């Protein structure tokens, strides 16, 4: 065993030694010291930073988000998302649509959980009109709301695996999500854009046999959650790539307006379904808000998975306790919303989504401010991406879970 080290590699010269027998601990320390010295040298050399452009067409961006990251070696010095490739101007368009027509537009904001987009708008309009939907409509609304959560988050649960190189989960997600979408389609006629919520109630009642079918689907979705819990969350590589990556402390999360699972994964126990349950039926069932203290990518995945499973229990309970009765309150044929302002937000799949409606007593809203969850959730990305390594960008973006339509509106 020679004492000299190869100046090029920093390792021992000659034929590769067998580690246990030949490398003494002293030599090993010297080797590590040499590596560290090399690393310091690399830092001290003034290198020109590299700018990495991800997107607008990038598989990790769920649409057309562009990310410009300035790198130093493998490390991100600063990263900034550039949006607007999908800005559709919904706030302006709502000013020339009547209230019932607005739901068609807002369906397309978060296109994976589209029914959930309609609900806060309808609730805000109902609040201004002093109308309350009958109980059965509230129940069905809540069920469809949770179904869109399940179908939306199920895709996240699989997609996160794909971003990290595990291809199987996404096939499971697409397979099982389809069962939920079938149920949504059976009621509303649309898989992605139901346009089913109406001021004062719902367009239609449930079809025959739907309750039993949905219960069977909920069993399947619970099995899906279990499967992913063992397949992906138990995976060592998955944990290594997620644990401790992209930690967002609770104070930062609140300052940036994070909401939904992103906020709960930072340990903030706040769910609008429990704390600010306006016009929905969540009080009628027994469920739990899941939080995780870590605030890292793994916590965000964990919280979403628990929430999906919890949502299936909410749906089950609501299906059991469904009241009978009308599905539509008495609403004038031509809807004119009285003058006033109302803000209603709900706990959408992606987080808090709200509509601030300014009405001046016309057929159309005077101004609608759409508060979408992904916009605020992504606004933290320049903060959280600073200092991470390039492969972790993907992990963090995937775990923050945004839908481009929800950012750009």
Partner 1 sequence: MAEDTATTEAPAEEETDEEVAAPEPDPARDAALAMLTELLGDAIVESHIEPGRDLWVRVQRDAWVESIQTARDSLRCYWIDFLSAIDWMPSPYGREMEAEQDWIIHGRDIKETPAMESGVAGGETRFQVFARVYSIENNLGITFKADLPDDDLRIETLLRTYAGINWHEREAWEMFGIHFDGHPDLRALYLPSGFEGNPMRKDFPLLARRVKPWPGIVDVEQMPEVESPGDDAPSEEGGEA
Binding of residue 257 to partner 1 (CB under 8 A): yes
**In angstroms, what CA-CA distances link 116 with 180, 196, 347?**
14, 10, 9
Could you tell me which residues come within 8 angstroms of residue 329 by beta carbon, excluding any fewer than 6 positions away? 131, 132, 133, 134, 137, 200, 201
Smallest separation, CB 392 to partner 1 (Å): 21
E strand segments, 49-98:
50-54, 66-72, 75-82
- 248 near partner 1, judged by CB under 8 A: no
- Residues 64-83 contacting partner 1, CB under 8 A: 83
CA–CA separation, 267 and 278 (whole Å): 24
Within residues 332-351, the interface with partner 1 by CB under 8 A covers: 332-334, 336, 339-343, 345
Kindly calculate the radius of gyration of the chain based on its CA atoms and give it in whole angstroms.
25
Q: Is residue 14 near partner 1 by the rule CB under 8 A? A: no
Query: Peptide bond preceding 56: is omega within 30 degrees of 0, i.e. cis?
Result: yes
Give least dist CB 256 to partner 1, A: 3
Contact (Cβ atoms closer than 8 angstroms) between residue 113 and residue 152? yes
Nearer Cβ to partner 1, position 32 or 339? 339
Size of the site for partner 1 (CB under 8 A): 51
CB 34 within 8 Å of CB 9: no
Residues in the chain: 409
354 binds partner 1 (CB under 8 A): yes
If we measure between CA atoms, which residue out of 354, 346, 380 comes closest to residue 271? 346
Of 158, 198, 204, 160, give the one whose Cα is nearest residue 185.
204
Rounded CA separation 94/283 (Å): 32
Q: Is 323 in the site for partner 1 (CB under 8 A)?
A: no
Nearest distance, CB of residue 101 and partner 1, angstroms: 6
Positions in 90-129 near partner 1 (CB under 8 A): 91-93, 95-98, 101, 127
Site mask, partner 1, residues 258-287, x = CB under 8 A? Answer: -x--------x-x----xx-----------
249 binding partner 1? (CB under 8 A): no
Q: Cβ neighbours of residue 24 under 8 Å, at least 6 residues apart?
A: none
256 makes contact with partner 1 (CB under 8 A): yes
Q: How far apart are CA 358 and CA 62, in angstroms?
A: 31
Q: Please, which residue, 125 or 154, has the CB nearer to partner 1?
A: 125
Measured from the CB atom, the residue of 318 and 352 that comes closer to partner 1 is 352
Q: How many helices (H) and strands (E) does the chain have?
A: 17, 8
| β-bridge partners, 356 | 343, 369
Are the C-beta atoms of 285 and 300 separated by less than 8 Å?
no
Query: Under the criterion CB under 8 A, does residue 8 sit at the interface with partner 1?
Result: no
What residues does 82 pair with on adjacent strands? 66
Question: Is 220 near partner 1 (CB under 8 A)?
Answer: no
CB 60 to partner 1: min, Å? 20
Q: Does 53 bind partner 1 (CB under 8 A)?
A: no
What residues have CB less than 8 Å from 233, skipping those under 6 apart?
A: 239, 298, 301, 302, 305
Q: How far is the CB of 336 from partner 1 (least distance, A)?
A: 7
**In this complex, which beta carbon is closest to partner 1, that of residue 30 or of residue 336?**
336
Task: Please identify which residue in 3, 130, 283, 286 interacts with partner 1, judged by CB under 8 A.
Answer: 130
In terms of CB distance, is 73 or 257 closer to partner 1? Answer: 257
Q: Which is nearer to partner 1, 127 or 306 (CB)?
A: 127
* CB contact at 8 A, 338 and 371: no
Between 168 and 277, name the residue whose CB sits nearer to partner 1: 277
Answer left, alpha or beta for residue 98, where phi above 0 means left and psi between -120 and 50 means alpha: beta
Which of 217, 352 has the CB closer to partner 1?
352
Could you list the residues that contact partner 1 (CB under 8 A)?
83-84, 87, 89, 91-93, 95-98, 101, 127, 130, 251-252, 254-257, 259, 268, 270, 275-276, 332-334, 336, 339-343, 345, 352, 354, 356, 358, 360, 363-364, 367, 369, 371, 375-376, 379-380, 383, 408
């Amino acid at each position: 065993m020679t004492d000299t080290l190869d100046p090029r590699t920093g390792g021992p010269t000659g034929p590769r030694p067998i580690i246990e027998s030949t490398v003494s601990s002293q030599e090993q320390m010297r080797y590590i010291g040499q590596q560290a010295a090399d690393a310091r040298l690399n830092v001290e050399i003034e290198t020109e930073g590299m700018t990495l452009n991800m997107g607008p067409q990038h598989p990790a961006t769920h649409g057309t988000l562009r990310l410009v990251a300035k790198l130093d070696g493998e490390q991100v010095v600063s990263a900034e998302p550039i949006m607007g490739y999908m800005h559709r101007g919904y706030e302006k368009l709502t000013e020339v649509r009547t209230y019932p027509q607005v739901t068609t537009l807002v369906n397309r904001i978060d296109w994976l959980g589209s029914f959930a987009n309609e609900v806060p708008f309808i609730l805000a309009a109902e609040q201004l009109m002093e109308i309350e939907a009958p109980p059965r409509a509230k129940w069905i609304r809540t069920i469809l709301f949770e179904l869109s959560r399940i179908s939306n988050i199920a895709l996240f649960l699989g997609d996160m695996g794909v971003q990290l190189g595990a291809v199987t989960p996404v096939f499971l997600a697409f397979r099982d999500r389809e069962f939920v979408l079938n149920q949504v389609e059976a009621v509303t006629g649309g898989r992605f854009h139901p346009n089913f919520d109406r001021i004062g109630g719902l367009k239609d009642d449930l079809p025959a046999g739907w309750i039993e079918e949905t219960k069977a689907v909920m069993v399947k979705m619970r099995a899906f959650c279990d499967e992913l819990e063992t397949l992906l969350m138990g995976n060592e590589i998955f944990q290594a790539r997620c644990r401790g990556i992209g930690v967002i402390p609770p104070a930062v999360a609140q300052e940036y307006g994070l909401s939904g699972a992103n906020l709960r994964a930072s340990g903030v126990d706040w769910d609008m379904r429990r704390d600010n349950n306006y016009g929905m039926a969540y009080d009628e069932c027994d469920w739990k808000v899941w939080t995780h203290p870590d605030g890292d990518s793994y916590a965000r995945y964990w919280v979403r998975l628990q929430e999906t499973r919890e949502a299936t229990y909410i749906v089950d309970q609501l299906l059991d306790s469904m009241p009978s009765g009308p599905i539509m309150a008495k609403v004038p044929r031509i809807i004119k919303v009285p003058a006033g302002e109302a803000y209603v937000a709900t706990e959408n799949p992606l987080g808090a989504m709200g509509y601030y409606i300014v009405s001046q007593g016309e057929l159309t809203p005077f101004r609608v401010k759409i508060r979408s969850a992904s916009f605020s959730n992504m606004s933290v990305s320049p903060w959280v991406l600073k200092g991470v390594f390039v492969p972790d960008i993907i992990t963090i973006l995937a775990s923050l879970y945004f839908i481009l339509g929800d950012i750009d509106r």
